[in-house]
Structure 1
Amino acid sequence: MSLEKTEWILHELQRIYDKSNDYNEVTLIKATQDIIREQAKRIEQMEGEIDGTIWSPKRWGE
């Protein structure tokens, strides 16, 4: 998922969160936001790991 999509989804969830008075809905939205942020962080970490592996001189001879 692109950074723009992630930010848009988080923004829309926050908009719904701000308007909600339902405890269950608010809790679900916050949990969803946390999961999306964690996934985005892990994707970024994995992309960095892949880049590091590709550019590792140890791998150039393989």
Structure 2
Amino acid sequence: MEEQAWLITILQDLLATSIKLEERAFYQGLIDLANEQIKRLDQSSGELDGRIWNPSRWG
């Protein structure tokens, strides 16, 4: 997660300093993509934990 936080910080800095609308839209899209990736990684990790610790499969 540390790499994603670093990436989002860099992209936010680029977004803040960009003047062109196309660049700003591009950086905002990358930020949205990185946030979605973080969310999906967290969800898949939680799903894996839930499947591993399912008591009905312990037998």
Please indicate, yes or no, whether the TM-score normalized by the shorter chain is above 0.5.
Answer: yes
2:49 alignment partner in structure 1: 51
Structure 2 unaligned runs (5+)? none
Counterpart of 2:49, as a letter, is D
1:6 and 2:4 correspond: yes
- Give the CA deviation at 1:60: 1.1
Structure ranking higher on relative contact order (CA contacts 8 Å, 6+ apart): 2
Structure 1 unaligned runs (5+)? none
Q: Give the superposed CA RMSD.
A: 0.6
Q: TM-score when scaled to structure 2?
A: 0.95
Q: What number of residue pairs does the alignment pair up? A: 59
* Identical-residue share of aligned pairs (%): 37
Tell me the alpha carbon deviations over residues 6-61 of structure 1, each in whole angstroms, 9 at most, x when there is no partner.
00000000111111101000001001100110111011001000001000011112
